[in-house]
Amino acid sequence: MAKQPSNPSHLGHQARKRFGQNFLHDHGVIDRIVRSIHPKSDESLVEIGPGLGAITEELLAATEGKLQVVELDRDLIPILRTKFFNYPDFVIHEADALKFDFNQLAAPEKPLRLVGNLPYNISTPLIFHLLKHVNDMKDMHFMLQNEVVKRLAAQPGEPNYGRLGIMVQYYCRVQPLFMVSPESFSPRPKVDSAIVRLTPYKELPHPVKDIKTLEAVVRTAFTMRRKTLRNALSSLIDAEPLEALGINPKLRPENLSLADYVKISDSLSSSTEAAK
């Protein structure tokens, strides 16, 4: 297994704070990540933010050099091109992942497998962006701040339960895999990290009539998460219709399940259709 430099600055690139760069250099963690992904050469693998190529090198070895990456930092791109010049099927997309159309990389017979050590400062908006493309994905393996992984996997009533977890769980099965300590990075972050696997459902467990209505209901509810549903959702639905759905309006937003939010959303969609 190829070794990575213990100090990424040896490659002539200092991590940039504005890009949220923390370069992974722990060989054991890199190996464990790649084993968790179990990439194959006949799959469509895409790495977001390859950085200095620590994970990239092992992915290329596992896929016979077939890998696409999306990188925003233009100073890293020549480093990556030089480091992996002997891989003709290694493709670099110089782009902002927050604006990138991942659908263009997908093929019907080869759904995308996304991998990334995601910058902490854009991880939540990036995940919401990626949810728009889940129909073209097989799975996603991300390194994230541990608190974000907790939010992704949180269940009703738990402190970290909220909009992010509900919307991701609408589309995907969430599997936290393992923790990664700050010592595994350079520069060292102030928080623990974790690896999570997101697997889009082939059939949604709680399909909704209108996804935008669901998004609006969940966003509105958690804007005032400490208030009761009667107050938090007063701009969208009254207490009586909530009770008719079997939902106690005295509960707080964090007490409702995904299925409950789908019920509320479908009720609003039905009311809108009836009013037309």
Same domain (yes/no): 50, 183: yes
Same domain (yes/no): 52, 119: yes
Same domain (yes/no): 185, 248: no
**Contact between 264 and 217 (Cβ < 8 Å):** yes
Same domain (yes/no): 79, 166: yes
The pLDDT of 103-129, averaged and rounded, is 91
Q: Where is the domain boundary, 200, 233, 265?
A: 200
Same domain (yes/no): 62, 158: yes
Same domain (yes/no): 189, 238: no
Q: Is the pTM of this model over 0.75?
A: yes
The pLDDT of 203-214, averaged and rounded, is 97
Q: What is the pLDDT of residue 276?
A: 59
Say if 1 falls within a structural domain.
Answer: no
**274 confidence band (pLDDT: 50, 70, 90):** low
Peptide bond into 187 cis (omega under 30): yes
**Average pLDDT, whole number, for the chain?**
89
Say if 3 falls within a structural domain.
Answer: no
User: Does the pLDDT of residue 8 top 70, yes or no?
Assistant: no
Same domain (yes/no): 158, 227: no
Same domain (yes/no): 191, 220: no
**188 confidence band (pLDDT: 50, 70, 90):** confident
Give percent of the chain above pLDDT 70.
89
Per residue in 59-88, pLDDT (tens digit) is 999 999 999 999 998 988 999 999 999 999
Say if 145 falls within a structural domain.
Answer: yes
Same domain (yes/no): 258, 121: no
Q: Domain of 250: which CATH number?
A: 1.10.8.100
Per residue in 177-186, pLDDT (tens digit) is 998 887 877 7
Same domain (yes/no): 34, 159: yes
CA angle 193–198–200, rounded 5-degree value: 165
The count of structural domains within the chain is 2
Handedness of CA 41, 49, 120, 99 (dihedral sign): negative
Same domain (yes/no): 160, 229: no
Q: Where is the domain boundary, 172, 200, 228?
A: 200
254 is in which domain, residue-wise? 211-275
Say if 215 falls within a structural domain.
Answer: yes
Neighbouring residues of 252: CB distance < 8 A, sequence distance ≥ 6: 225, 226, 227, 228, 229, 232
User: Does the pLDDT of residue 20 top 80, yes or no?
Assistant: no
Same domain (yes/no): 124, 193: yes
Per residue in 127-168, pLDDT (tens digit) is 999 999 999 999 999 999 999 999 999 999 999 999 999 999
Q: Domain of 28: which CATH number?
A: 3.40.50.150
User: Does the pLDDT of residue 10 top 80, yes or no?
Assistant: no
Distance CA 172, CA 7 (A): 36
